């Protein structure tokens, strides 16, 4: 089984990623780590625990992590996720608390205690927790297995500014440090995630499944559908965060290109832009992966299967 740490800021699409991971027996889910992003970390950690309870996965520890980016002011994306971060869902105080200790220490301890390459990470919020863990223990970069990240914008343009995608924009210094650390990072940016759309048929199929996990996933997508129609004018919202988790389960659902990715941290105008270089003769080495295409039917089939 693939050992996995899921780092997230739920977040309506984070909630779908969590349901996918909670339902996938292929993973030994070592921990869910929460970070401030879409909403403050107190809420993302509570939401992760709420979602864990609904999924019946209290065996998985939830650790609260960084409450602010490395150098920037906390941003927030409440308009796309609801004030509490879980769309239309009524928040409640979960039965089980957060695990003792900070998410950054948990990441270091869990990964360093296991064989090289055996623990994968899926990061679907700002990369603050992983960047802090790498500062604390630089050897983590070599010890980690694949680091599958939702973040970045290239051909599709940005979603928070013309140039940048939210997760990278929210903490560009963290993203830059992680990408330069030697970690084997694959970015699932908007080029790929905008291909994965929650159409009415796809949401209805989840609603028809009738399980708690499928119900949560469908409710998050219905909320996004309403908001994206209002704010962006899109009929079917992109479902970003399940993509890196789906790739860890079924890599054939995505086409990746080898590349070297750097992040803009100086310019205010293009803050958080991902400069993706595919030319080996220019970059020297191509240590990263960039998701170019996604098989949306396959991703939704996988979500349906694991939420059943």
- Per CB under 6 A, the list member of 3, 33, 38, 274 interacting with ligand BDR is 38
- Residues binding Ca ion: what is the number (CB under 5 A)? 6
240 is catalytic: yes
- Per CB under 6 A, the list member of 14, 171, 191, 228 interacting with ligand BDR is 14
Closest separation in Å from C-beta 60 to ligand BDR: 20
Q: Which does 129 bind (CB under 5 to 8 A by kind): ligand BDR, Ca ion, none?
A: none
Catalytic residue among 81, 240, 273, 288: 240
Binding mask 56-75 for ligand BDR (x = CB under 6 A): --------------------
User: Could you say whether residue 7 binds ligand BDR (CB under 6 A)?
Assistant: no
Residue nearest to ligand BDR (CB): 166
Residue 126 to residue 132: CA distance in whole angstroms = 12
Query: Toward ligand BDR, which CB reaches closer, 108 or 124?
Result: 124
| Segment contacting ligand BDR by CB under 6 A, of 9-17, 44-52, 64-72, 104-112 | 9-17
- Per CB under 6 A, the list member of 163, 167, 219, 225 interacting with ligand BDR is 167
Assign 3-class secondary structure to the chain: CEEEEEEECCCHHHHHHHHHHHHCCCEEEEEEEECCCCCCHHHHHHHHHHHHHHHCCCCCCEEECCCCCCCCCCCCCHHHHCCCCCCCCCCCCCCCCCCCCCHHHHHHHHHHCCCCCCEEEEECCCCHHHHHHHHHCCCHHHHCCCEEEECCCCCCCCCCCCCCCHHHHHCHHHHHHHHHCCCCEEEECHHHHCCCECCHHHHHHHHHHCCHHHHHHHHHHHHHHHHHHHHCCCCCCECCCHHHHHHHHCHHHEEEEEEEEEECCCCCCCCCCEEEECCHHHHCCCCEEEEEEECHHHHHHHHHHHHC
User: Could you say whether residue 228 binds ligand BDR (CB under 6 A)?
Assistant: no
| Segment contacting ligand BDR by CB under 6 A, of 84-92, 112-120, 161-169, 263-271 | 161-169
Name the site residues for ligand BDR (rule: CB under 6 A). Answer: 11, 13-14, 38, 77, 80, 124-125, 150, 159, 165-167, 240-241
Q: Which residues make up the interface to Ca ion (CB under 5 A)?
A: 9, 11, 14, 124-125, 241
Q: Which residues are catalytic?
A: 240
């Amino acid at each position: 089984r693939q050992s996995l740490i899921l780092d997230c800021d739920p977040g309506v699409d984070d909630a779908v990623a969590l349901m996918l991971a909670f339902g996938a027996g292929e993973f030994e889910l070592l921990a869910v780590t929460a970070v401030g992003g879409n909403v403050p970390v107190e809420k993302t950690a509570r939401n992760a625990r709420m979602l864990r309870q609904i999924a019946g996965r209290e065996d998985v520890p939830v650790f609260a992590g960084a409450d602010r980016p490395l150098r920037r002011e906390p941003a927030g994306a409440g308009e796309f996720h609801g004030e509490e971060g879980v769309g239309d869902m009524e928040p409640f105080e979960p039965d089980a608390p957060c695990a003792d200790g900070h998410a950054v220490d948990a990441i270091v301890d869990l990964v360093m205690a296991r064989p090289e390459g055996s623990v994968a990470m899926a990061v679907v919020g700002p990369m603050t927790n992983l960047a802090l863990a790498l500062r604390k223990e630089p050897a983590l970069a070599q010890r980690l297995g694949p680091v599958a990240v939702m973040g970045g914008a290239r051909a599709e343009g940005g979603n928070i500014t013309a140039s940048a995608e939210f997760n990278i924009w929210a903490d560009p210094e963290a993203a830059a440090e992680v990408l330069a650390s030697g970690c084997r990072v694959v970015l699932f940016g908007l080029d790929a995630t905008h291909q994965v759309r929650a159409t009415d048929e796809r949401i209805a199929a989840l609603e028809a499944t009738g399980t708690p996990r499928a119900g949560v996933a469908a409710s998050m997508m219905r909320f996004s559908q309403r908001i994206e129609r209002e704010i962006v004018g899109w009929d079917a919202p992109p479902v970003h965060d399940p993509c890196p988790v789906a790739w860890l389960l079924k890599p054939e659902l995505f086409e990746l290109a080898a590349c070297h990715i750097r992040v803009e941290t100086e310019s205010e105008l293009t803050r958080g832009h991902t400069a993706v270089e595919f030319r080996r003769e220019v970059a020297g080495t191509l240590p990263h992966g960039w998701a170019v295409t996604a098989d949306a039917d396959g991703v939704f089939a996988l979500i349906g299967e694991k939420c059943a």
